[in-house]
Amino acid sequence: MPRRNPLKPRSAISAQTDIHTGQVIRHHGRNALVEAENGERLECTARKRVHDLACGDRVEWSSAGDDQGVIERVLPRTSALSRPDHRGRPRSLAANIDQLLIVIAPAPEPTAALIDRYLIAAELMPARPALVLNKTDRLTADTRTHIDALLAEFAALDIPVVRVNTREPGALQPLIELLATHTSILVGQSGVGKSSLVNTLLPEHEIRVGELSEASGQGRHTTSDTTLYHLPGGGKLIDSPGVRDFHLWHIDKAQLERGFREFHDPAGHCRFHNCRHLNEPGCAVQAAVDAGEISARRLESYRKLYAQLEAAEERLGDY
């Protein structure tokens, strides 16, 4: 057996050999519940050098006794969802999400412009967007026509669309299939049924299992904490009231254009390399609209958002 180097302190040896990976299920400040690779959960404290921990973060942790650990480092994220804190600085809410589910319902009446904004948010995270029409039991002859046209426009952009309701047994199946193999979040207007969907999708024990022990004091979970849940039908759901309320915060013009995925190809053929697709001659995005390849409404929506960004920039410039 090799002898331990007597000059090497014990702690340094363990720090080198006892590093594991895991995922943050829920956290409260520096206290986090981490799920290890083997599925076991342990309470961890993050080292001071670990900044901006978020639910869903993949971390390296070392053992600190029975069911206790120390978060040494956050591994690079594939995506992040952040929102401004009370001082306007961005704070990460959730990480490593790969699917943004935009929930709509016959009422409150959905608007295409709102969906456009969520699609920009998805593109920037980045995450795959999908549309979930909930409350299909509430469709009427009138609302059905409007909703069908709306969904068809987005389906034509290769955005997956499912139709569900929380009232009939089995009516969530298309959503369950969409959630499997992804780490998703649900977003949408107030009243579309996001809480009802989460409550129907998650078994009762999953809602409780993420709780941090009361013993750690600061680790007490509140219903507003962002939590990562394992879904019975496969896949993971990251959820909290803050995540459900998420909408687009400040973006710049380049980010705006990235959010309109069907513009990317034609934009490469505009006469001017810095074409804004507003009213420039030789604009290939406008030509694609004229040829019926891109929806005129989408270009109009982009131009409205562009004008809003411009106005916001001018206001800032006044200071």
Annotated binding site for Zn(2+): 270, 275, 277, 283
Whether the Cβ atoms of residue 56 and residue 227 lie closer than 8 Å to each other: no
Whether the Cβ atoms of residue 26 and residue 41 lie closer than 8 Å to each other: no
The CA distance from 121 to 115, in Å, is 10
195 binds, among Zn ion, ligand GTP, none (CB under 5 to 8 A by kind): ligand GTP
Using the rule CB under 5 A, give the single segment among 7-15, 122-130, 246-254, 284-292 that binds Zn ion.
284-292
Neighbours of 305 (CB within 10 A): 21
Comparing CB distances to ligand GTP, the nearer of 166 and 301 is 166
277 binds, among Zn ion, ligand GTP, none (CB under 5 to 8 A by kind): Zn ion
Q: How many residues lie near ligand GTP (CB under 6 A)?
A: 15
CB environment 37-49: b (16+ within 10 A), e (fewer) = eeeebbbbbbeee
103 in contact with Zn ion (CB under 5 A): no
Q: Binding to Zn ion (CB under 5 A): which residues in 247-276?
A: 270, 275
Task: Give min distance, CB of 165 to ligand GTP, in A.
Answer: 3
Task: Tell me the two tokens of residue 280.
Answer: 């420039």
Task: Give min distance, CB of 173 to ligand GTP, in A.
Answer: 13
192 in contact with ligand GTP (CB under 6 A): yes
3-state percent breakdown (helix, strand, coil) of the chain, nearest 5: 35, 25, 40
166 binds, among ligand GTP, Zn ion, none (CB under 5 to 8 A by kind): ligand GTP
> What single-letter DSSP state applies at residue 259?
T
Comparing CB distances to ligand GTP, the nearer of 185 and 270 is 185
148 binds, among Zn ion, ligand GTP, none (CB under 5 to 8 A by kind): none
Binding-site string for ligand GTP from residue 152 to residue 181, where x marks contact by CB under 6 A and - marks none:
-------------xxx--------------
The CA distance from 74 to 53, in Å, is 7
Whether the Cβ atoms of residue 294 and residue 288 lie closer than 8 Å to each other: yes
Task: Give min distance, CB of 270 to Zn ion, in A.
Answer: 3
The CA distance from 194 to 133, in Å, is 11
125 in contact with Zn ion (CB under 5 A): no
Using the rule CB under 6 A, give the single segment among 44-52, 133-141, 283-291, 307-315 that binds ligand GTP.
133-141
Collapsing DSSP to helix, strand or coil, 136 comes out as helix
Candidate list 134, 184, 227, 301; residue touching ligand GTP; CB under 6 A: 134
Collapsing DSSP to helix, strand or coil, 244 comes out as helix
Q: How far apart are the first and last CA of the chain?
A: 71
Q: What is the DSSP string of 99-159?
A: EEEEEE-SSSPP-HHHHHHHHHHHHHTT-EEEEEE--GGG--HHHHHHHHHHHHHHHTTT-
Task: Give min distance, CB of 283 to ligand GTP, in A.
Answer: 39
Candidate list 195, 216, 255, 295; residue touching ligand GTP; CB under 6 A: 195
| Nearest in space to 93 (alpha carbons), one of 193, 227, 197, 249 | 227
196 in contact with ligand GTP (CB under 6 A): yes
Candidate list 135, 236, 276, 298; residue touching ligand GTP; CB under 6 A: 135
The CA distance from 31 to 243, in Å, is 20
Task: Tell me the two tokens of residue 93.
Answer: 């809410």
Task: Give min distance, CB of 161 to ligand GTP, in A.
Answer: 16
285 in contact with Zn ion (CB under 5 A): yes
- Interaction site with Zn ion (CB under 5 A): 270, 275, 277, 283, 285
